[in-house]
Amino acid sequence: MTAEDVVVSGIVLFAERIDGLVVGAISASPSPTLSLDKSTATIAVGDTVTIKASVNPVGTAITWTSSDTDKATVANGVVTGVASGSATITATAGSVSKTCAVTVSAGA
């Protein structure tokens, strides 16, 4: 079939069946959901504790921060006690954040 045949014949071609069309709206992706396995933790100076985070959709990047790096540091959910005191560890995925309160005690 050529373009000339279609024009001369006066037919209309559809790439799909008209009664099989699906109409939908495209919207922004939903905010991720985030959860932590601990809301509080206590460790000694020099010790570590791991805070496990789960995020949906899977594969969403999680950023970890500590409110006081002189007391506790965090990297990929592993918290290290630096000095006695307390810090809040925050995991953030997109616009969603969850926290864990960490108390660091003096070494034994």
What predicted TM-score, i.e. pTM, was given to this entire model? 0.71
Task: Name, in order, each residue with C-beta under 8 angstroms of 28's C-beta and a sequence gap of 6 or more.
Answer: none
What integer pLDDT is reported at residue 59 of this predicted model? 82
Q: What's the pLDDT at 13?
A: 61
**Hey, what domains does the chain have and what are their CATH numbers?**
30-105 (2.60.40.1080)
β-bridge partners, 11? none
Could you list the pLDDT tens digit for every one of the 108 residues in the chain? 555 555 556 566 666 666 666 677 777 777 789 999 999 999 999 999 999 999 998 888 999 999 999 999 999 999 999 999 999 999 999 889 999 999 999 875
